[in-house]
Amino acid sequence: MLKEIRIHGRGGQGSVTAAQLLAHAAFIEGKHVQAFPYFGAERRGAPVKAFARISDEPILVHSQVYNPDYVIILSPELTQVIDVTEGLKKDGLVLMNTTKKPEEINLNGWRTATVDATGIALELGLLVAGFPVVNTAIVGAFAKTTGEVKLESILKTIRETWSGSVGEKNARAAELAYERLLTG
């Protein structure tokens, strides 16, 4: 069954990398995948979107994701300027990087899960150019809240993407987010 994911973030937060990590983790599990960005000439801090698809069958659609099963929000303040739930399927799920509990998020009754990916990045000293790296934590939380990919596949993908201590630190971020995920 085809599952579609839309990731909202700001330029430089790693939305595109998060989509690629999810797709690669699903690929090593034998699934068919796609991952791609949608942005123009934005710069660091501008709103961006990335997409991923995971399926047991070949994926024949090649458009943006308009009706996602899952929405991932890397930057919670985007909910004030973008309708992040636009097109979200009726039984869809929103996963948000925030310190708030799911019941504190006002997204018109959508099923919501939260994790403090920023806090995890700061705790581990996961920074790039002074900004917290939240994408590796959020993919760990995604694995737990959806079951679409296994945490082991996420960790393997992270360690294949970054070697040494950088890979281990990012893998630890995914593990901590998996453990600390809050569901509503």
Q: Where are the domains of the chain?
A: 3-183
CATH superfamily of 3-183: Pyruvate-ferredoxin oxidoreductase, PFOR, domain III (3.40.920.10)
Average pLDDT, whole number, for the chain? 94
Taking only the tens place, the pLDDT of each residue in 9-35 is 998 889 999 999 999 999 999 999 999
**Structure tokens given for 114:** 């939260």
Taking only the tens place, the pLDDT of each residue in 85-132 is 999 999 999 999 999 999 999 887 899 999 999 999 999 999 998 889
Taking only the tens place, the pLDDT of each residue in 138-147 is 999 999 999 9
**Structure tokens given for 28:** 């090593």
